[in-house]
Amino acid sequence: GDSVTQMEGPVTLSEEAFLTINCTYTATGYPSLFWYVQYPGEGLQLLLKATKADDKGSNKGFEATYRKETTSFHLEKGSVQVSDSAVYFCALNQGGKLIFGQGTELSVKP
């Protein structure tokens, strides 16, 4: 069945460092792909999405490109802030349901 694999956390970075969180997927067809962010004690917020191959989703300085060839949707940000500390989930849409990766915890130190 469809699945999503994320790089393991926690990831610890200094403020203004470059961020990459890897995400690869296995799916039949070409599902929509998403990144969600969860701040401590809260629900998930949609960060960005891409609906087809080569689409780039972007929001709040974060970007991810839908790569069909490598079945990947890696999340990047050029300069992280302390306020970016959260858990990030990669997900794909399977028949109307979201399949989530295991989540990657990001901690940004001042």
Q: Which residues bind other proteins (CB under 8 A)?
A: 32, 34, 36, 41-46, 49, 51, 89, 93, 96-98, 100-103, 105
Q: Supply 56's token pair.
A: 């780039």
Least separation in angstroms between CB 19 and other proteins: 20
- Would residue 82 be called left, alpha or beta, if left means φ above 0 and alpha means ψ between -120 and 50 degrees? alpha
Q: What angle do CA 58, 62, 99 make, to 5 degrees?
A: 80
Distance CA 38, CA 82 (A): 14
One DSSP character per residue, 41-72 reads TS-EEEEEEE-STT-EEEETTEEEE-BTTTTB
